Amino acid sequence: MEGKRKIRIINVVGARPNFMKIAPLMKEYKNYPEIKSILVHTGQHYTREMNDVFFDQLEIPRPDINLEIGSASHAVQTAEIMKRFEPVILKYKPDVVLVVGDVNSTLACALVAAKLGVKVAHVEAGLRSFDRQMPEEINRVLTDAISDYLFVTERSGLKNLKNEGFPKKKIFFVGNVMVDTLLRNLEQSKSSTILEDLKLHGKCYTVVTLHRPSNVDDPIVLGALIEVFEKISQELPIIFPAHPRTRKNIELFGFMKKISETKRRAHPASDGRLRVIDPIGYLDFLKLMASAKVVLTDSGGIQEETTILKVPCLTLRENTERPITLEIGTNKMVGTDPARILAAFHQVSENSGRRCRTPDLWDGYASKRIVEILMRN
């Protein structure tokens, strides 16, 4: 129809875990000529390794707008995003603002949209760790509270939203967009040379990632974790792609020296057993995870990805907002107590390769369902 106004959807990304969630949605919009999709990047993550590499590998279009927020305290970061996002909404007059996940950018942009009377769609709604010490939990609860479309990845999310009194008509169980991205890229990731580059053999190493403030900002907690990693690495080499926050603190607290000393003590041919490396791109990380014997992490997304890859995962936290990964996946909650981590490591490394069910609707079609629902409504 000539002159008919297109449906305008502003999509928001800010930090690394947002990129794999938005990628399949941006692709899906292309099947709908009646949609005009606009991509806004808040700039919360901005370095090549935390940002650009994901846009390149996942073929995410260049953002239409970059708010160039950068790093700051939670209050400043959230407030600055809000200030800079408001004029974007006033200019583009979207019908929907779609936000993903639980980072500061998610909440900040949802809040601006809701206050201007624009509908908010939240992808990954309903997840709850019930731990308000986690900045992400606050972001989740508040974003859900002001969203009009609550797109849920797992059944616990449905239960949480029901318990919190959300009307049924706002809630949609659609599956997991991050799994859409994983399944789409799995084949391609097989040609990554990361194992050769790091001189590793499949199923003969452990992967560690760590970035939660509760694990990396306190020298006692981080020190105890590094110590247990050192112990594990004497049995199975560890590759530890370190988030910038983690790397900064490892250096600040003087742990890098300790790690290097372990390296020197290790067998000369082993190139060090506990290896802290820079963050790596999506395809390399997928290959690294898929071929690992065990993964140790405090990331939410990695708990889900290892569930699909059927690689044993030990979660270094006391709670998870993704309980489905514990119920049917290979994930195990082990907290931060060294003895508990070590015992769990021994247990899972002996029992790896278990076959488990895949969570409902984690089938590669979540983004298709989301866009269909948005169009229907």
* Least distance to ligand UD1, CB of residue 31, Å: 30
Q: Does 297 bind ligand UD1 (CB under 6 A)?
A: no
Catalytic residue among 41, 45, 211, 243: 211
Phi and psi (nearest 5°) for 137? -65, -40
Q: Three-class SS of residue 12?
A: strand
Q: Does 321 bind ligand UD1 (CB under 6 A)?
A: no
* Least distance to ligand UD1, CB of residue 359, Å: 20
**Contacting range for ligand UD1; rule: CB under 6 A; set: 40-48, 79-87, 165-173, 358-366:** 40-48
Quote the tokens at residue 285: 């990380």
Q: Does 32 bind ligand UD1 (CB under 6 A)?
A: no
Helix (H) or strand (E) holding 311: none
Q: How many Å separate Cα 220 from the centre of its chain?
A: 25
Q: Nearer to ligand UD1 by C-beta: 46 or 173?
A: 46
The yes-or-no answer on residue 211 being catalytic is yes
Do 221 and 214 meet the contact criterion of CB atoms below 8 Å apart?
yes
* Least distance to ligand UD1, CB of residue 122, Å: 15
- By CB under 6 A, what part of segment 99-128 binds ligand UD1? 102-104
Helix (H) or strand (E) holding 344: helix 338-350
- Closest-CA residue to 57 (of 178, 188, 239, 195): 188
- Candidate residues 9, 13, 16, 20; the one interacting with ligand UD1 per rule CB under 6 A: 16
Q: Three-class SS of residue 225?
A: helix
Q: Does 133 bind ligand UD1 (CB under 6 A)?
A: no
Q: Nearer to ligand UD1 by C-beta: 230 or 321?
A: 321
Q: Does 50 bind ligand UD1 (CB under 6 A)?
A: yes
| 40: region left, alpha or beta (phi > 0 left; psi from -120 to 50 alpha) | beta
Q: Does 273 bind ligand UD1 (CB under 6 A)?
A: no
**Contacting range for ligand UD1; rule: CB under 6 A; set: 143-151, 177-185, 240-248, 325-333:** 240-248
Quote the tokens at residue 2: 């000539």
- Closest-CA residue to 292 (of 205, 193, 195): 205
- Candidate residues 119, 184, 231, 245; the one interacting with ligand UD1 per rule CB under 6 A: 245
Do 371 and 32 meet the contact criterion of CB atoms below 8 Å apart?
yes
Whole-number Å distance between alpha carbons of 45 and 48: 9
Phi and psi (nearest 5°) for 170? -90, -15
Q: Nearer to ligand UD1 by C-beta: 76 or 343?
A: 76
Q: Does 46 bind ligand UD1 (CB under 6 A)?
A: yes
- By CB under 6 A, what part of segment 68-97 binds ligand UD1? 71
Whole-number Å distance between alpha carbons of 199 and 164: 50
Footprint on this chain of ligand UD1 (rule: CB under 6 A): 15-17, 44-47, 50-51, 71, 102-104, 135-136, 211, 243-245
Q: Which residue numbers are catalytic?
A: 211
